[in-house]
Amino acid sequence: MSGEVHGPAEFYRVPLGRVAARLVRVRVAALWPAAAGGGPRLDVLGLGWAGPYLSLWPDQPGRRIALTPEGLGPMPGSAQVREQHLPLPDRCMDRILLIHALEVSESAHALLRECWRVLRDDGRLMVVVPNRLGSWALFDHTPFGQGRPYSRGQLEGQLRRQMFAVTRRDAALFVPPFPWSFALRGAALWDRTGRRLLRRLGGVTLIEAEKDVFGAMPAGTPAMGRRVVAEAPAGYARIKGTAPDR
């Protein structure tokens, strides 16, 4: 990962960061709503910097684990790990929220493969990345302006290559990334209007993908040769150098 990311933890403490967190939380909650009455157990991994979002399911049973790749620096409440080797066993998580991670990863392929490995067979991944067409990718004073932004097609292609099946798409942060009080006060209106009229121009893209178990299997059974043994016809030439039968 690149070390140039400018403090996600600090960003979420300023007014612009708090507004961004609120707008992204609304979309994450719309895609992954909390189950009424607790619901089934869900083990959720927040990978990258997911601190503002892991509290979305307060009454749902299950583990909440926060891991931060080493390149992002230390984050309060999150353990630092190597993105190529997550310290988790195979098929142990139901959901993974990947935010402030993929766009600054040194190996997006390895990171997504690790996500695939630790997800259960019916597990789901949600990726939140800066949108290449959005305004937030143009300014480096927020974490969403760091690293490599993705268009929706680029992100979907990356996920499919790592054996994920894309299920749903969304967008957020249509408000410009300026700390002006009048813009921040109308941020919710910006987002409602943008999602209705200019969906591809959101500051961030959210894509939910399902672990594609069958993607790891061959498309068809390889043909296998058969060995046929038959009696040699009379007068069949013997292999050179063998002795005749007596």
Q: For residue 172, tell me if it sits in a domain.
A: yes
Checking if the pLDDT of 223 tops 50, the result is: no
Q: Which residues fall within 8 angstroms of residue 180, CB to CB, at 6 or more apart?
A: none
Interval 201-209 mean pLDDT:
97
Checking if the pLDDT of 219 tops 50, the result is: no
CA distance 33 to 59: 12
Q: For residue 233, tell me if it sits in a domain.
A: no
Question: Counting every residue, how long is the chain?
Answer: 246
Phi, psi (degrees; rounded to nearest 5) at 68? -125, 125
Strand 119-130 versus strand 204-211 pairing type: antiparallel
Q: What is each CA distance from 86 to 4, 67, 90, 114, 175, in whole angstroms?
A: 22, 9, 10, 7, 35
Q: For residue 89, tell me if it sits in a domain.
A: yes
SS3 state of residue 137: helix
Interval 179-197 mean pLDDT:
88
Half-sphere exposure of 232 (CA within 13 A, CB side): 6
List the alpha helices (DSSP H) in 119-223.
152-161, 181-185, 187-197
Mean pLDDT of the chain: 86
Q: For residue 219, tell me if it sits in a domain.
A: no
List the single range of 107-116, 134-143, 237-246 with lowest mean pLDDT: 237-246
CA distance 187 to 181: 10
- The total number of structural domains in the chain stands at 1
Q: What is the pTM of this model?
A: 0.83
Report the alpha-carbon angle 56-60-61, nearest 5. 130
Q: For residue 245, tell me if it sits in a domain.
A: no
Q: Which two tokens stand for residue 81?
A: 């790990």
Q: What pLDDT is recorded for position 193?
A: 93
Q: For residue 227, tell me if it sits in a domain.
A: no
Amino acid identity, position 63: R
- Asked if 204 and 131 count as a contact pair (C-beta separation under 8 A), the reply is yes
Q: For residue 242, tell me if it sits in a domain.
A: no
Q: Which domain, by its residues, includes 92?
A: 8-213
Q: What pLDDT is recorded for position 73?
A: 73
Q: For residue 33, tell me if it sits in a domain.
A: yes
List the alpha helices (DSSP H) in the chain.
8-11, 15-31, 108-118, 152-161, 181-185, 187-197
Residue 234 confidence class, pLDDT cut points 50, 70, 90? low
CA distance 31 to 207: 9
Give the CATH number for residue 113. Answer: 3.40.50.150
In the block, tokens 């749902």 appear at 60
DSSP-assigned letter for residue 237: P
